[in-house]
Structure 1
Amino acid sequence: MPSHVVIVGGSMGGLRAAEQLLANKFDGVVTIVGDEKHMPYNRPPLSKDVLAAERDEHNSTLDHWHSSVAFRQRKSIADVRWRLGSPATASDLDAKTITLADGEVLHYDGLVIATGLRPRRLDLPGPKSGRHVIRTLDDAINLRAELQPGSRVIVVGGGFIGCETAATATKLGCQVHIVEPMAAPMIRPLGEEFGTALRRVHEASGVHVHTGVSVEEAVAGNDDPERLAAVTLTDGTRLDADVLIESVGSHPNVEWLDGNGLDLSNGVLCDNHLRVESRPDVVAVGDIARFPDPAAGSIPRRIEHWCIPTDTAKRAAVSLIHHLNGDDEDTTPFSPLPSFWSDQFGLRLQGYGAPGDADHISVLDGDLSAPIDDDPSALHGTVVGYYRGSQLVGVVMISPTPASARKYREAIETYRTAVLTS
């Protein structure tokens, strides 16, 4: 009987895992389980293209937007079995079974964990209507309907998604406020100096930025006790609001793995080959996988960048196939290069490496403090290096030229290669 691999997670990570299994000559049966009813699609456009497009009958349907962001289906996965719209609710890794929400039990020889993340929600008193998150296509379509010219929009959280959504809503003619508990937007990934520069960009573009505070209460209107009308901040400020967008982090979807003795404290703990805690028949891919990177200190961590589902799927597929075939394991160190980008008010932020590991930064090109007035393009070409001691461990660029992006990517790759071979 051919081996059966079950992939739990029907988004990008699950799709890439199936592609990599088949690309590496797996000749068994592959089943993908997903909680959404949609075939896999690309998420970065949700906070930009899907929200920003002109409103008309042609582009108002869910089917239209799914077709615009759906990943191309390769011929190699034509025989993959899809079980969409019925998520995994439980598992028994000793018995090698997965239980779905509809009661079906799937038996597997190999398991791929690719269930990703879900948005964290604010625990606020007050009305629920008018409050949104952005993670799924349905989330984006529901929010899109409310982002009308003149709408009063509060974005809680000044990270990548929060800042991108604030920029999109502003360009749609909304009155936008960012509420960020830290001293500037995007401090955690980029540091305060870079975050302060981005704050200036947003404020010059019409966004009101409130830092060092958070939302304390959602306030209903007099006409509808279920509908948002305002929020109050922890400093007592009251902001009128039609829409509250919660961009305050995420939770790994690990509950279906409870009871198996795994470390699920922050995603799924894996070794460097993406194998889950001494279980060679189970691997994890994407931003749910917490694995050690030998080029970054070998401390297990999750990485939430767009490239990670593909990179981890390549490594995890090889690990799983070697186990199923009884082959010797591939001992090549797994050390994917973290990379990310973000588009805000005509600026493309592009980064490589691990800026969060740095203990100080240095502006290598351009000027983060350049006057921008109402034209953020004055920051184009700025490059910020992130250092740990004397070593460049990360770089973030603002609208770089292709040559500049290539130069700094190669510098980070050279450092990481040296660490791996030392």
Structure 2
Amino acid sequence: MASQIVIVGGSLGGLRAAEQLRTNGWSGELTVVGAEAHLPYNRPPLSKNVLVAPDTSALSATELVNHPGIALRRRAHVEDVSWVTGTEVVRAALADHVLHTADGRTLTYDGLVVATGLRPRRLPIDGFADHRHTLRTLDDAIALRDQLTAGTSVVVVGGGFIGCEVAASARRAGCRVTVVEPFAAPMLRPLGTELARTLQTFHEEQGVDFALGRSVSALVGRSSDPEALGAVILDNGTELAADVLVEAVGSQPNVEWLAGNGLDLSDGVLCDNLMRVEGRDDVVAVGDVARFPNPRFDSTPRRVEHWCVPGDTAYRAATTLIRGLSSAERGEGDPAPFTPLPSFWSDQFDIRIQGFGRTEHADRIEVLEGGLSPGWTSAGVVVGYFRQSTMTGVVIAGGTPAQRLRHKALLEGVR
């Protein structure tokens, strides 16, 4: 068996890949290369707990990495994994099994795991860098947290889950908040019109304003200090006061380091159902950088940007890579199809929105339990998403843990 596997990407996907490689019997050398200075941590709390929770409000990045709920426990069997942090792989020569890092290192490998994840997209407008934020890393969250003071005017561009979570946290911090969203309602694509508009009303009741069907055309400085952000100008000429701008306008995969190797990098890294990168026995991908087919739904390769994906794909990728590096196992038949059930959750004010499966391509949406009339938050609501009469997804807004488990089990049984 080969002796060296390198995992490129030091976040959750990289950690889960290392764990699964060891769990599945890989005893050779294992190195993880990560761009961040921090060891892996939990990202979902960044838009919520880190921004407004009293017990984290004064903590540094080093303290937060070890804080309960943010820290990711590393299992004992990965204690011998080598971590190279604070640098990134900038170029790969897959034919030669060589990687080059930004700080001048050259790494060789027998097996490679692509786990480089995503980075936030930015508005195509220059200026006011000190007052503009994205939210992907712990350092991003700390920089934003320090500017969310009571009375501050905050404009959030993008009404997806991250944008709405940030809006809720900013309101809880006492800020004046406006969400700018090009669609007709926030979270419209994953939730559908009725539930999205219901949640918009819920946000408005908490004091969040919305500018829907709009985009940002310009940024202007304050009259008293032109170097400081003062307002956001929308495409219809509306001017929104803004001390802080949060750009939650989507993400793009970190794949540039793989250019020049003949790969399809048009939307992440194209993989087969085994998580092999375009059929290569010695390269696999994990997490939201990987575009793979899920026969639970259809044969179209897709990226999935949900928290559960790194763990699910790491399990599949680890067994595939070990098998691909072992001449004794390579000729055996392929395992059963990989059919993970995507799941996500979003905490906004005191409501948890939890979803399972695929919801974006539904041709019918139906309320299964509860209702969307005023007062719905007390009992919650369960919404089913169907395509050609088959339920492909479910979202529970509010509700109880028992409801979530029951509907997840129900969806897991649908094929």
Structure 1 residue aligned with 2:253 = 252
Amino acid at match of 1:241: A
Counterpart among 359, 362, 367 of residue 363 in structure 1 = 367
Structure 2 residue aligned with 1:349 = 353
Name the SS of the counterpart of 1:226 in structure 2: coil
Deviation at 1:2, TM superposition (A): 5.2
Moved more, 160-169 or 400-409: 400-409
> Are the counterparts in 2 of residues 39 and 70 from structure 1 also a CA contact under 8 Å?
no
> Scaled by the length of structure 1, what TM-score is found?
0.95
Structure 2 residue aligned with 1:404 = 403
> Are the counterparts in 2 of residues 152 and 242 from structure 1 also a CA contact under 8 Å?
yes
Structure 1 residue aligned with 2:340 = 336
> Are the counterparts in 2 of residues 323 and 329 from structure 1 also a CA contact under 8 Å?
no
Deviation at 1:398, TM superposition (A): 1.2
> Are the counterparts in 2 of residues 291 and 299 from structure 1 also a CA contact under 8 Å?
yes
Cα distance change, pair 191–265 in 1 and its aligned pair in 2 (3 A): same
Moved more, 208-217 or 65-74: 65-74
Between the aligned partners of 1:296 and 1:122, the Cα distance in structure 2 is 33
Cα distance change, pair 147–103 in 1 and its aligned pair in 2 (3 A): same
Structure 2 residue aligned with 1:185 = 186
Between the aligned partners of 2:55 and 2:39, the Cα distance in structure 1 is 24
Between the aligned partners of 1:186 and 1:317, the Cα distance in structure 2 is 34
> Scaled by the length of structure 2, what TM-score is found?
0.96
Structure 2 residue aligned with 1:9 = 9
Structure 2 residue aligned with 1:420 = none
Name the SS of the counterpart of 2:87 in structure 1: coil
Deviation at 1:303, TM superposition (A): 0.4
Report whether the alignment pairs 1:307 with 2:305. Answer: no
Structure 1 residue aligned with 2:385 = 386
Work out the number of aligned pairs and report it. 410
Identity between Structure 1 and Structure 2 (%): 55
Between the aligned partners of 1:288 and 1:51, the Cα distance in structure 2 is 26
Between the aligned partners of 1:74 and 1:147, the Cα distance in structure 2 is 36
Structure 2 residue aligned with 1:19 = 19
Name the SS of the counterpart of 1:304 in structure 2: coil
Between the aligned partners of 1:117 and 1:42, the Cα distance in structure 2 is 15
> Are the counterparts in 1 of residues 2 and 326 from structure 2 also a CA contact under 8 Å?
no
Name the SS of the counterpart of 2:16 in structure 1: helix
Structure 2 residue aligned with 1:52 = 52
Between the aligned partners of 2:65 and 2:174, the Cα distance in structure 1 is 25
Amino acid at match of 2:388: G
Give per-residue Cα distances to partners, 1:94-135, cap 9 Å, x unaligned.
Answer: 001110001111000000000000000001244322000000
Moved more, 318-327 or 110-119: 318-327
> Are the counterparts in 2 of residues 339 and 352 from structure 1 also a CA contact under 8 Å?
yes
RMSD: 1.4
Runs (4 or more) in structure 1 with deviation over 6 Å come to: none
Q: How does 1:5-404 map to 2 (within 5 A)?
A: 5-54=5-54, 59-68=58-67, 69-326=70-327, 327=329, 328=332, 330-368=334-372, 370-372=373-375, 377-378=377-378, 380-404=379-403
Name the SS of the counterpart of 1:397 in structure 2: strand
Deviation at 1:47, TM superposition (A): 0.2
> Are the counterparts in 2 of residues 346 and 377 from structure 1 also a CA contact under 8 Å?
no
Between the aligned partners of 1:54 and 1:278, the Cα distance in structure 2 is 49
- Structure 1 regions of 5+ residues with no counterpart? 417-422
Name the SS of the counterpart of 1:70 in structure 2: coil
Deviation at 1:355, TM superposition (A): 0.6
Moved more, 20-29 or 119-128: 119-128
Structure 1 residue aligned with 2:414 = 415
Amino acid at match of 1:24: N
Deviation at 1:299, TM superposition (A): 0.5
Give per-residue Cα distances to partners, 1:137-183, cap 9 Å, x unaligned.
Answer: 00000000000011100000000100001001101100000000000
Amino acid at match of 1:343: D
> Are the counterparts in 2 of residues 127 and 227 from structure 1 also a CA contact under 8 Å?
yes
Name the SS of the counterpart of 2:322 in structure 1: helix
Between the aligned partners of 1:98 and 1:125, the Cα distance in structure 2 is 33
Deviation at 1:389, TM superposition (A): 2.1
